[in-house]
Amino acid sequence: MTTLAARLAPVSRTLTFIRFSHTVFALPFALGSMLAASHGQPGWRIFGLVLLCMVSARTAAMVFNRLADWEIDKKNPRTAGRHRLMPRPAAVALLIVSAGAFVATTYFINALCFALSPVALLIVCFYSLTKRFTDYTQLFLGLALAVSPVGAWLAVRGQFDWAPLVLAGAVLLWVAGFDLIYATMDYDFDRAAGLRSLVVRCGVPGSLRLAQGLHAGAFVGLAAFGVAAAMGVIYFAGLALVLGAFFYEHRSVAGPAPLDVGAVNKAFFNANAFVGLVFVLAVLADELRRYG
């Protein structure tokens, strides 16, 4: 057992380095978009290719983020141990491999996805640089994750439609909102280090109020996607659970100690993982009801 644990240790460190567990945030919206575009029947080939694209693109983006913030993370008490998980040369190699895997995978999907793959990589990686020159970093992170439902739709249909663009807008607002909550943990450090974000601009109470507004907009966007994609009653019933998760999330960080790390982590991971899970299951159930 000890030998096996030692062999798996580099894999475990790599997964921690790229926060692989946070894949649960972007993946459901890509899968939901894929299911809506294919009426619940994407086929195993497209499913596998979309899944590989999601994992490889997200890995590339996260590794780029770690490399861009390497020295900054060393100084932040919350992230001080990140650079010990993987040597910098190994991180560079992982970035090259994951980016190359993403582009190569899109080649086997369709010509449009392949042509747009460098643009997608540019968008998902660009977020990591924004804290140096703009306050709107959370919106750029939202844009990075909003690429996924559009890409998944293109993988199935090979053309743009309004439905995935509406869903992308909802994802952008949703991600920006929950990252505002998460970024409150770094408020003091970011302000002292001269880093920019909406949290630094608005302060903690203002950021939590803004997050509420963004999530209200995200909920409206998810409802608009249901209309644009001709979803049925099951999907819209699922949105009631999404609304409940938003209330839970914001209630978790309300009160006299909004910077409590446990409360912020609970709100960030549990509530938002639930939102993604409900979304993809609601789309799947609705499509199977109509076309299964």
- Looking at residue 271, which CATH number applies to its domain? 1.10.357.140
Q: Looking at the 3D structure of the chain, how many domains does it have?
A: 1
| Structural tokens at position 241 | 């659970």
* Residue 130 belongs to a domain: yes
pLDDT at 229: 96
- Per-residue pLDDT, 26: 79
Q: What DSSP letter does each residue of the chain carry, written as one string?
A: -HHHHHHHHHHHHHHHHTTGGGHHHHHHHHHHHHHHHHTT---HHHHHHHHHHHHHHHHHHHHHHHHHTHHHHHHSTTTTTGGGSS-HHHHHHHHHHHHHHHHHHHHTT-HHHHHHHHHHHHHHHHHHHHTTT-S-HHHHHHHHHHHHHHHHHHHHHSS--HHHHHHHHHHHHHHHHHHHHHHGGGHHHHHHHT---HHHHHHHHHHHHHHHHHHHHHHHHHHHHHHHTT--HHHHHHHHHHHHHHHHHHHHT-SS-TT-HHHHHIIIIIIHHHHHHHHHHHHHHHHHHHH-
Residue 134: inside a domain: yes
The answer to the question of residue 184 being in a domain is yes
Tell me whether residue 221 is in a domain: yes
Residue that has been written with the tokens 């100690």 in this structure: 257
Q: Give the integer Cα–Cα distance in Å for 17 and 12.
A: 9
Alpha-carbon distances, residue 163 vs 25, 116, 220 (angstroms): 19, 19, 13
Do residues 149 and 159 make contact, with C-beta atoms less than 8 angstroms apart? no
pLDDT score at 256: 56
Task: Evaluate if pTM is beyond 0.75.
Answer: yes
Backbone angles phi and psi of 252, in degrees to 5: -65, -30
Residues 12-40 as b/e (b if ≥16 CB within 10 A, e otherwise) read eebeebbebeebebbbbbbbbbbbbbbbb
**2 is a domain residue:** no
The Cβ of residue 162 has, within 10 Å, a number of other Cβ atoms equal to 12
Distance, CA of 136 to CA of 239 (rounded, Å): 28
Structural domain range at position 159:
23-291
Residue 136 backbone dihedrals phi, psi, to 5 degrees: -95, 40
> Do 134 and 196 contact (CB within 8 A), yes or no?
yes
User: Is 14 part of any domain?
Assistant: no
| Low-confidence residues of the chain: pLDDT under 70 | 1-9, 15, 20-22, 24, 83, 255-264, 266-267, 292
Q: Judging by beta carbons within 10 Å of its beta carbon (0-12, 13-18, 19+), is residue 232 exposed, middle or buried?
A: middle
52 in a structural domain: yes
Q: What is the pLDDT of residues 72-94, one digit of tens each?
A: 888 887 777 776 778 889 889 99
| Model pLDDT, residue 1 | 45
5 assigned to some structural domain: no
Rounded-to-integer distance, Cα 292 and Cα 180, Å: 39
Q: Which residues contact 144 (CB under 8 A, 6 or more apart)?
A: 61, 123, 124, 125, 126, 127, 175
